[in-house]
Each structure stands twice: as C-alpha cells, then as structure tokens.
Chain A
Amino acid sequence: MMRPRWIKVFHDLWDNKARTLLVVFSIAVGVFSIGVIAGAYQIISNDMSISYAANQPANVELRTIGFNQDVLGSIQNTHGVLDVEARRVFNMRVRVAGTEKWTTLDMVAFEDFEANTVNLLIALQGDAIPKKREVVLERDALNHIDVQVADVLEFQLQDGSTKTMPVVGIVQDTAMGAGDFLASPYAYITMSSLQYLRQPALYNRAYVTVEAGGDDIRHIRVIGADLKDKLEKNGTRVIRTRFSETYEHPLASTVNAILGILMALGILIVFLSSSLIANTLSALLNQHLRHIGVIKLVGGRRRQVFVMYLVLIMSFAALALLMAVPLGGQGAYGLALFISSELNFNILGYRIVPTALLIQVAVGLLVPLIAGLSPVISGSRITVLRALSGDLTGDESQPQGQQQTRVSWFDWMLIRLTRMLALRGIHFPRPFIISLRNTFRRRGRLILTLFTLTMGGAIFIAVFNVRATLHDYIDSIGKYFVADVTLDFDQPYRLREIEQMVMQVDGVAGMEGWQFVSGELLDANGEVLENINIFGPPADSVLIEPLLVKGRWIRAEDVRKLALSEAAYGYFPNIKPGDHVTLKIDGRAEDWEVVGIFKFVDREGVLAYAPYEYISKMNNLANRSYSFRLITENHERSYQNAKAEELDKFFRERGFKVRVAQAGRATLDTAVESLDTLVMFLLIMAILTAVVGAMGLTGTMGMNVLERTREIGITRAIGADDRAVMQTVISEGFVIGAISYVLAIILSIPFTYLLSTIVSLAVFETPIDVVYTFMGYVIWFGLVLVLSVVASILPARNAARLTIREVLAYE
C-alpha cells in the first residue's frame, strides 16, 4: 500500500485535469520558448562559422575593371597571399525559355571549376561543373526562377537578342553572397562561355585568402590595401574591396543580436508564465486549505505538508518538461534550419544541445519552484483552525479576525457613479455592476492576471510598431539612392542625350545622371581604415532626402567637399563639419572637407556624397554618366516594373548598351521582406506572450468562479437564470481585458522604443526614429476582447451549469 500522502498528491495531479493542464502548459510555454531560442542560438553560433569557414571564404574581395592572367599571377605572388581565384561577374536578364518573366542573375565565370579553392561551391543536384555553354545555378536562384535541372534558360544580351544555355546543376555558394541581403542570385559558367554571351574574356573580381591571420581583420585589411596598391600601379582600377574573417560569418553578429532579442522575449514569457503559475498554485493552495487543515489535525507537520506540495509542483514541472523539451529541441532545429536557409549556410544536422537542455530543465524546475514557493510556504504554515475554517477563502489581504467593515474605495466610487448616472436616467445592468465589483475583489490575483495580459498586449502592439518603424526606415534609406527606375549602361552616355530619349517614354517625369567614386578612408598615419563609396548625384537632386545629423548637404560649387554617413563616427568619434578627412582615390591621398554628416545604415560601411558637378570632372566624364535615375509619374511597384521593362526595351532597340534597368521599389521590397522575416519571429513571440496572458485570464476566471460557487448558488436561488450567471462571469473577463488594453497602450510606448532600438542596432548598427501604427492597437483591441470573452466562456458555462443544490452544498 502506498503512503496515503502520496496517493493524495497523485489525485491532486490527476483529478483536476483542467487545472493540471493549465499549470503544465504555463510552465511548458516558457520552457519551450527558452529551449527553441537557446538551442537555435547554440546551433547557429557553432555551425554558422564552421559552415562558412569550411568553404574557404575569401578574406579579400577585389572588384576591378577587367584584368588578365598576368595580373592574377602578380596577386598570387603578393606577400601574405595564400590563394587567389579570379572570376568575371556581371549581371544578365534571364528567363526560362518560352516564358515571359525576366529575372536578373549575377553571372559568375570560372576559369577552372575543378581547381576551385576559394569560395568553394557545394554540389547539390546534377552536375556542379558546367561545360562550355552550360550553366549551373546557385540554390537561391530557384526562389526567383521556376527552373529545374535540364531546363533551358534564355539570356538577354545588350542588344536585346537572346542566347540559350541548359541548366546542368544546382550548387550552394555559402561564401560569395554572405552578408549581402540584397545580392542577386548567382549563376555559374565557364570563362569559355563568355564569348557566347558577348562578354570580354577578362576577370573583374579577385578572391583572395591570406596565409596567416585569417581571423585578424586588421591584417586582412593591410593585405587588401597592398593588393589594391599593386593592382592600381599596374593600371587595374579597383572599384571596391571587401574584407572578411575566415571563421566569422559576415552576418554572425546580426543573427546573434536578433537571437538575443528573441531570447529576451523568451525570458519574458518565462517570467509571465511564472506569474501565471504563482496565481494558479496560490488558488490551488487556497482550495486545499481544508485538506491541509485535516492533515494537520491528524498529525501532519509543516515540513510534511510543504514536501507534499513541493512534490506536486515538481510533478507539474516534470510533466511540462516531458512535453516542452522534445518540442523545444525540434523547434530549435527548425528555427536554426530556417535561419540557415535564409542566410545560405548549412547546419550540421539535428542534435540535442546540452546547454539548451540544461537551461530548459533548470527553467522548468526552478521557475515553478520559485513561483510556487510563497503559496506553498504560507499554505504549509497555516494553523489548523484557520485552515479548517477556510479563512483564506476571503480576501487574503485582510488580517485574521478583522473582517472588512467598510466599503472599499472602489465600491464607494462605483456606488457614487451608478447613483449619479441613475439620477440622469442611465442604468447599468445589475450583473455588470456585480462583475465590476468582483473584478477588484482578489487584488493580488487581478494584478498578476493584468500583468501577464498587459505585457502580452504591449509586446504585440510594439512588434507592429517596430515593423512600421523598420519599413519607414527602409523607405528613408531608399531616399538616398533609390529612384523609380535605375538605368545603368555599360558605357557612358551624355546626359542630354539620355534625357531626350527618356522623355519620349510615357510616364517618365524626370531624370538625373549620377556618378560614383570609390576609395579608402585613411587614418593620420596613412593606414587604410575602411572603404568609402562616394555617390555623385546632382547637388539639387530631387531624389535624395537626407537625414542630416550635422552640417549641411552638398552644393554644386563644392570642390573636394563631401557629406559623410554616421559610420564615420566609428573611426572619428569627434568628426564635425569643417574637419578634413584623408581619402585615397586612384592611388592618391587627398584631403576632403566634411560639410555634413547624415544618418545611414552603418553596416554598409562609410558612405559619402559629393556633387555630380565635381565627381564628373574627377572621372573625366563631364555631362556624361553610366548610371541614370528616373522619376516616373506613378510610384507603385507594378508601374515601376512596367516602366523598367519598357525603358530596357526602348534603349536596347536603339542600340544603347544597357546593363540593367531596375525598379526601385523591388530593391526596397527585398530588404523589407528580409526584415519581415525578423518581424515574423517577433510576432510569434508576441503571440506566445498573448497566449500566456489568455491562459492566465482563463485560470483566473476559473478560480474566481470556483471560489464564488456559493455566491453563484445564492444568486441562482434568488432568481438569476443561466444567462445572468454567464453574463456576470463573462463581463468580469471583459472588464479585465479592457483594463489590460488601456495599460498595454501605455506600456507599448517604452516597449516600442526598446525593441526598435535593439533591432535597429542589431540590423543597421544605428538607432532609428520610432514610428507608430494604429494597426497593432486595433488588432490587439479585437484580440484581447475576443480572448477575454473566450477565456471566460468555459468558467461561465461551468458556473451556469451548477444547480442550486450543488452550489449551496459546496464543500
């Protein structure tokens, strides 16, 4: 025969399944959230670098004007260089033969696929080594083109004619596009196919690995600068250089920061669920007062009662762990898999993450223990007399033996208000007034319920505001360089010529010619700090709406003057308008005056603007340009796409060497889509917090109904029908929901600031201005009311089902 005390514990666990499930789910939600985030964090932080490093990522990427095998040889012979591979990268418009939709791909031409040693390709499907006039696609291309191995692709040449090549395989390139959310998908061909596509047989990119110090970014930069010097001395102009460490995925810090935010929300869910656990256990102990009284009456001591309820709590915890640990493990793997596929790296397969498991077990055991400790201690300490008289079934805030003799301030106010309104002919239904008073009877419980529901609501609303903030920021960032249509050519054209042409196209309202210069930002010793890209739009450009932090915007008469992005603060914390910076352009060091500092994504490195009027002279391209920004009459994405298509055709037909015609909105939407993935994760966490809130409300309403069984019996005895009983209970849930909504509105403001700042620092490395949207407020208003009513329906139905005899015989 088992000891009766353990039989009781088992029955406490088993007999009230709804309560057990509520507690178990409350614990499980927190354990699951923490497990998913901790597991994914561990898997990603481990596998991301390993997967990245496994494919021999280039430490230095040099983007140049065309170079040949001799130059490649000189790069290879540079001190500190381990390996180098040269490729030709150019973009082309591609479509599946026989279809209409064009997609822009970055074509990557290899000299020898079998000798691939830098930025290794991983074969996924078919043949990973294309022959002449064959193409292999990077797997990301499949998200943009509906194509399979053996299908034939059409490639549009500059004159508008097309060439075809079969797709022979699918590969994964984890290194090449890493860190670039906006990179076009890649396609790989041999150098021998270039002629077929009317491309010169010259390289324009060099991918270099360093001999030692592959994880020392300063060392990598030094070698990169040496290489650039060397190439430029040989007459090969370097347009851009990129540096990265071997064992550090370029997006590692971003992903870790985002997982950090999710972890913070996971911890919050645990915190909220702990208040729900505390609420439920406190109610359980109240319901069990008589049991404790009996136990103490027949010889049970404080410690024995304490241990019994501790075992009960640990049983809840064990059940929750059984449920949440495997699910959390699967969730962690799923999340890691999703992030890895989004960022194009591989994870090393499903596995149990010991740290995550340990965290889950610790959270699963400690949180209910801590949450339940106070009610269990006070329950085990109660005297037999108080326990048997069910003294705590009243308001626990009232001291023993001192019954409340005065009306509470809330009831007093309510009475005054209802009287005042009644005098003016406004009458509240009596059940609603009872509900209002009931709401405030159990203040401790009400506070905990409001806390969970309010937090859930505030986070939910904040996530929508964060989404609006990020979208707004992307839009404002777009205003630095995004036009309705960008038209790039392979050779420079006169501004007037292009202007006359574009004005013949319907719907084009304006045009600007832009130029660019790239160089390096030097420190006081002449060492390279960072690449710098200088945009040269017309000084009076209508396309740019800069967010100036200091100083002024560029002017047409500016000579060697520029406006710098905030990223410059990373190198010159005290930089201000009027100061000078040293730039190395075309191998020459020059002093430029800073006229202003503007807000921009720090991640993109240092960006600068100087007037077209000066940059075009520097480039010896006065009144000409490679790149033209067009303004259309309508700014919708579909309209922009149509115009880009029309302009592309228009110029090709007239013999212009068009490289690409791109709609601005499409570029921004790609960025927005990446951010929306992050927002979706935030929303999932917000929904989880809302679920915890709703569970809290259901539990509270259930406990309230149970404790008021006798009162319900009395109201039924004096004539209340099912509807009136249900109405009283549901109204109470509604009142709690409404109060939490008001509180959530207030709390959502700091939450929005906090989340927006953390997310923007993680993604853009700069704080951004917060934008509010009514959407979150409206959706949460509807949701919280529905949740409140739904959470109250079950307890209300239970209350309405009780017969008068049952309720008056309660206990």
Chain B
Amino acid sequence: MDNTLIELMNVSKTYSTAAGDFTALKNINLKVNAGEFVGIVGKSGAGKSTLLNMINGVDQLTSGVVIVHDGGEKISVHEMSEDGRALWRGRKMGVVYQSFQLLPMLTLIENITLPLDFSDNFKPRESKARAMQLLELVELEGHANKLPAFISGGQQQRVAIARALANDPSILVADEPTGSLDSITADHIFDVFEQLVSNQGKTIIMVTHDSSLAGRFSRNLRITDGELADEDDSAESKVDKTMRRRKK
C-alpha cells in the first residue's frame, strides 16, 4: 500500500539577485511516508531551509510540484493562493523555526491558541483546554500565563512546538529547531519530537546542519549545493526503522 504523505517532483528554486541568478534547489525529487522522522542535513547555504519552505508553502518554487496527500486527497501546495496556503498550513501542517517565532505580547497559552483562532477553530473554553493539554505535553503547564520573554529559549521552543500542534496536524516541519539551544536543552527538544513520532504518529521533517543528529532520524537526507541525496544505505525500510523506534 502506498503510504506516501509528501511528494516533491522536480522541484527547483532559483533566486534572482543583483549578482546574477542563484539556484538554491536543483531538480529535487522526494517522497516522505506517513510516520517518518526525516532529517535533512546540510551545511549553511546548502538549500535545506529553502527545501523546507517549498514543503510548507512559505516560499514559491521556480519549477516542479509539491503534493501533500490528505485522506485520499492530493493537495498541490503551490497551486493554492497565498491565503489558501496560509489556511491549509494553519490546519494541516505545524511549523517550527530556530528563532521560535512566538508573539512577544501574548502569553504562552494565547500563543498556542493563535492557530486555532486563524483557522476558525477557536472556541473559548475548548481552545483553552486544548492549549493547556499541549502545554502539559511539553511540560510547561505551570507557565501558561507567562510572556515568552520570561521563560528560557528551550522553553520557548517547546511552546513553539505546542503551537505547531494546536490544530493537531499530521505533519510537522522544523527548521533548525535546536540551532540556538545548548546541547542539553536541544536534547530535550529532540525527545519531544521523537515522542510525537512514536506516540502520536506524526510525520516530521527537520532540517539541521548538525550531522551528529543523523542517528536520531528514521531517515536521513543530505543536501549539498541544492542537490538532495538519500543517506540511508541499509536495506531496512524507513518505515520499519520508525516502527522499531516506536516500539522502543
């Protein structure tokens, strides 16, 4: 049975600059299956963030197609309008960035309910309960009414993850989520991601420049100068690897 959730076909991205054209992604083809924890590793400027922005529809591609399968429906991300992509992203895909991107004037609980509000799923009591549930998941329920400035970077990133889960999307994309954290905090964050994959069956695509994290993904991809290579050389299927992790 085809378990493909995300499909990139011949995706290219070229930026026009004063210095001339620069191709950030070169003819990328990729299939991500449901339940995979995919790590895209690459050096700075290799094109990993660009690739992630193609998947979540934050950036426009130059050529190619990005398809997301949603309950038998095939959604071509880049055929939607900017507004359509925003609504789809809010409901179906959680996004986590290195710099947390929390709104500084809102409390943690308000930040988490923000996607519910914009995707028209906001019901005062239920939304609050959902936000508290997510805060418990990231072990921050005691800080619900604090502003982001009053908690640590690691805690902020956990709030960002909770916010990404607000609408219970099946896919999470994360751009260097541990990049600005110390190693112990980064490890805790990684644990959260792993639990989301193993306990909740989420599909996660994470980009990082840190090659040492490769062992923790169910599937490793390396991006170099805009070209993608699958690093998993074992015969073991990627899904099996994930399942094995889940059993652990």
Residues of A within 8 A of B (CB): 1-5, 7-8, 11-12, 15, 290-291, 293-304, 383-385, 388, 401-403, 405
Contact = CB atoms under 8 A, between A and B. Distances in A.
Given A301-B86, A383-B82, 9 more contacts: A2-B124, A4-B113, A5-B114, A5-B117, A15-B105, A294-B103, A299-B115, A299-B118, A300-B118
Contact of B106 (A11, A293, A297, A402): A11
B89 interface: yes
A296 B89 CA distance: 9
Contacts of A290: 101
A300 B53 contact: no
Contact of B15 (A3, A5, A301, A401): A401
A192 B91 CA distance: 99
17 contacts: A1-B128, A4-B110, A5-B117, A5-B118, A290-B101, A291-B103, A294-B101, A297-B101, A298-B115, A298-B118, A299-B119, A300-B86, A300-B118, A301-B118, A383-B82, A385-B58, A401-B15
Contact of A401 (B16, B95, B118, B163): B16
Contacts of B101: 290, 293-294, 297, 388
Interface residues of B, number: 38
A1 B124 contact: yes
B18 A304 contact: no
Nearest to A299: B90
A473 B166 CA distance: 77
Nearest to A9: B105
A290 B105 CA distance: 13
Contacts of B87: 299, 301
Nearest to B112: A4
Contacts of B163: 298
B103 A300 contact: no
B194 to A, nearest CB: 23
A12 B105 CA distance: 8
Contact of B86 (A7, A291, A296): A296
A300 B90 contact: yes
Nearest to B17: A401
Q: Is the interface of A mostly helix, strand, loop or mixed?
A: helix
Contact of A304 (B103, B118, B127): B118
Interface in B102-132: 102-103, 105-106, 110-111, 113-115, 117-119, 122, 124-125, 127-128
A291 B114 CA distance: 12
Nearest to B131: A1
Interface string B12-33: 0001111100000000000000
Given A299-B87, A299-B89, A301-B87, A3 B58 contact: no
Contacts of A291: 103
B83 interface: yes
B87 to A, nearest CB: 6
Contacts of A385: 53, 58-59
| Shortest beta-carbon contacts, A-B, top 5 | A299-B90, A11-B105, A299-B118, A298-B115, A300-B118
Contacts of B119: 299
A602 B167 CA distance: 79
Contacts of A1: 113, 124-125, 127-128
Contacts of A300: 86, 90, 118
Contact of A302 (B58, B83, B89, B117): B83
A297 B18 contact: no
A485 B119 CA distance: 87
A293 B101 CA distance: 9
Given A11-B106, A298-B115, A302-B83, A3 B122 contact: yes
B18 A299 contact: no
B106 A7 contact: yes
A291 B101 CA distance: 8
A405 B18 contact: yes
A8 B89 contact: no
Name the residue among A7, A291, A295, A297 with the largest chain B CB count within 10 angstroms: A297
A3 B128 CA distance: 10
A11 B29 CA distance: 45
Contacts of B106: 4, 7-8, 11
Name the residue among A4, A12, A291 with the largest chain B CB count within 10 angstroms: A4
A8 B105 contact: yes
Contacts of A401: 15-17
A295 B18 contact: no
A384 B16 CA distance: 19
